[in-house]
Structure 1
Amino acid sequence: MKKIITLALAVLAAGATVTTPAAATTAAIPKGFLLYERDAAKKDNDPETNWKVTNSARAGLAVNPCDRSTLAATGRVAARTVTFTGVPDFMKVEQVILYGSRASAASAVAQVRAALARCGARTEAGSSYRYASSRLTGLGDEALRVSGQVYYGKRAGVGGDRSVLVRKGNAVVVYLWAGEYSKPERSDWTVQLRDARKMTAKICDVATCA
């Protein structure tokens, strides 16, 4: 599925225009801190599945409706992204990003909101890919529930992504699933919300939250 392939490339690619301050030498995310790192470390002989872990602070933000490498990139000091892909069209992403300050992290979330508004719909070959988002309460300092979905006119088609983005202190956390979704349902976010709550509960071990 073209949209999912595009998402994977955006998440894994390093944006050449991203800059990180000198503070990057002092910030760190311990090995094994992310929820899916243990799964990613297991030997996988299945040719139809793949795990990838990157520590690049220049990795594309998983929630990126405009597909811009510079989205939420300024001020990053550390990051880790775990990506799982499965044939034919499933992907899940876990991403933890630390910024140099809480203000920089808050600015990153504001940029995501602006991108969702600016690139809320794209039309191609008779279909459109539309984004919708809503605020989540009781999760970190601020949080968003985001859906991307294929539509043919007003009818939802097969293919979409569902994500949860949370900011806590100077950290931004993303859990995204992409696959053969149809019309968005609340149950589509069950696992992403569970994972986001787990990570938010311990993120202050590496982030500045107070």
Structure 2
Amino acid sequence: MKKIITLALAVLAAGATATTPAAATTAAIPKGFLLYEKDAAKKDNDPETTWKVSNSAKAGLAVNPCGRSTLAATGRAAARTVTFTGVPDFMKVEQVILYGSPASAASAVAQVRAALTRCKARTDSGSSYRYASARVTGLGDEALRISGQVYYGKKAGVGGDRSVLVRKGNAVLVYLWAGEYSKPAKGDWTDQLRDARRMTAKICDVATCG
């Protein structure tokens, strides 16, 4: 599980070096707009937990099956990523990205769908990490529920991530939790779907929605 969290953090950090063509300069995400920014701003003296807030429009996409910093990077205008990590094996990420147009945002989601197919499984030291996704109806213009899970042969092992990705207009938002999951179950997305619905309900305050 530590390897999964380390990889995810590396992807987010690596995105800071990705090249993103200039997009609309008027797009902005107000400070405090994300759901977890208040929690991230609180003083935390616990050595086993860490909050990080990034305003880089080049941050790696939180959902990144192939681990490529260029995934969904083209056409971004603004972004904010809040990451929480806790010892020993827990991480959650909230990410809101504004693109220069709804078309660019739709292209970003199409890239994620393609990556989920292209990198559906990664094999390492006798185990595999497999991705699966399903459409979520009634949420934004399009939405996906995504799982990543460790498997030993056909048996699910401990260690996985669960995320919800939503596009609304020119905005793409991701809520990802990674922890000691076992076989994917419907209840694994309860918190991520709750947060995604809350953000989708107000995203048009900063996004261009049709």
1:92-107 alignment runs, 5 A limit = 92-107=92-107
| Equivalent residue pairs, number | 209
Aligned letter for 2:3?
Answer: K
- 2:57 is matched with 57
TM-aligned CA deviation for residue 22 of structure 1: 4.8
Equivalences for residues 3-152 of structure 1 within 5 A: 3-23=4-24, 25-152=25-152
Q: Tell me the TM-score normalised to structure 2 length.
A: 0.98
Please say which of residues 7-16 and 53-62 is displaced more in the overlay.
7-16
Distance 2:14 2:80 in 1: 13
Q: 2:153 matched to 1:153?
A: yes
SS of 2:19's equivalent in the other structure is: coil
How much has 1:12 moved relative to structure 2? 3.2
Equivalent position SS for 1:144 = strand
Deviations 1:94-125 (A, max 9, x none): 00000000000000000000000000000010
Quote the Cα distance in structure 2 between the aligned partners of 1:130 and 1:150. Answer: 6
Residue identity matched to 2:192:
Q
Amino acid at match of 2:9: A
Contact kept in structure 2, 1:8 and 1:91, CA below 8 Å: no
**For 1:157 and 1:39, how far apart are their aligned partners in 2?**
31
Aligned equivalents of 2:116 and 2:8: distance in 1?
Answer: 15
In structure 2, the gaps of 5 or more residues are none
Q: Is the 8 A contact 1:12 1:59 kept in 2?
A: yes
After superposition, give the CA deviation of every residue in 1:76-106 in whole Å (9 maximum; x if it has no partner): 0000000000011100000000000000000
Structure 1 residues 49-95: Cα deviation after superposition (integer angstroms, max 9, x where no partner): 00000000000000000000000000000000000000111000000
Distance 1:114 1:22, change over 3 A: closer
User: How far off is 1:18 after superposition?
Assistant: 2.2
Specify every segment of 5 or more residues in structure 1 that has no aligned partner in the other structure, as ranges: none
Deviation track 1:21-42 (CA, whole Å, cap 9, x = no partner) reads: 152x311000000000000000
User: Which residue number corresponds to residue 174 of structure 2?
Assistant: 174
What's the CA shift string for 1:162-196, capped at 9, x where partnerless? 00000000000000000100000000000000000
User: In structure 2, the residue corresponding to 1:182 is in which secondary structure?
Assistant: coil
- The 8 Å contact of residues 29 and 80 in structure 1, kept in 2 or not, is answered as yes
Aligned-pair identity (%): 81
Secondary structure of 2:158's match? Answer: strand
CA RMSD of aligned residues (A): 0.8
The answer to whether 1:162 aligns with 2:181 is no
Shift of 1:9: 1.8
Q: Is the 8 A contact 1:120 1:132 kept in 2?
A: yes
